[in-house]
Amino acid sequence: MENVFKYYEFSNFFVDKSDAFSGNEISFTELNETHFLIFEKFEINSYNLYVSRYKNKKDIGVNPPEILELLVENYDKSIPEHRIMIKQYLS
């Protein structure tokens, strides 16, 4: 997964304080000024992938998102459909 995070320029993981991700660690990459892809880390090496909308980047992990949609539950980079989901948003 580290390669996925680096390749798509996701931020370092940090603890979500907005309660939108149950206090789990999150990492994000910017799609545009208000839309972001977010990985939520839960358990050891398990991740959910979301698309979200915030007023600005500074709100991530601090305030709840305006929009939050689960794209992939329990992301697995070896599953082509999971990889395609990221490429669909970042290509």
Instruction: Check residue 63 and give its pLDDT.
Output: 97
Each residue's pLDDT tens digit, 15-73? 999 999 999 999 999 999 999 999 999 988 999 999 999 999 999 999 999 999 999 99
How much is the pLDDT for 60? 98
Q: Which two tokens stand for residue 65?
A: 């998102």
Alpha-carbon distance of 14 to 17, in angstroms, equals: 9
- The set of residues, in sequence order, having a beta carbon less than 8 Å from that of 54 and lying 6+ positions away, is 34, 36, 60, 63, 65, 66
The pTM for the full model equals 0.95
Kindly provide the residue ranges of all beta strands, DSSP E only, lying in the chain, ordered along the sequence.
14-15, 25-30, 35-42, 46-53, 67-72
Cβ atoms of 39 and 21 closer than 8 Å: no
